[in-house]
Amino acid sequence: MPKAVVLINTDVGMEDEVAKMLAEIPEIKEAYIVYGVYDLVAIVEAPSFDDLRSVIVNKIRKLPHIKSTTTLIIVEK
């Protein structure tokens, strides 16, 4: 099953709100507020690469208060 790590930047002070919205997306298996260059990290899992792309483009990137994302496709464990 395809997996990805999505690094997310939010509007200032909106990390908690975005984390709550991410938790409602079934394909997001884990989400963390982090310090550093990014504000949140999400682990996404979907049945196919097309589904994975759809989750990232249509569910994550379209959430309010998300400024940018960087996606890292996991190739092996």
The full set of domain ranges for the chain reads 3-74
Q: Give the mean pLDDT of the chain.
A: 97
The string of DSSP letters for 51-68 reads HHHHIIIIIITTSTTEEE
pTM: predicted TM-score of the whole model, two decimal places: 0.94
Quick one: pLDDT band at residue 77, thresholds 50, 70, 90? confident
Query: From start to end of 1-77, where are the E strands?
Result: 3-10, 28-33, 40-45, 66-74
Which tens digit of pLDDT belongs to each residue from 10-43? 999 999 999 999 999 999 999 999 999 999 999 9
Q: Which CATH number fits domain 3-74: 3.30.70.920, 3.40.250.10, 3.40.50.20, 3.30.413.10?
A: 3.30.70.920
Q: What is the pLDDT of residue 15?
A: 97
Say which residue, 25 or 77, is predicted with more confidence.
25
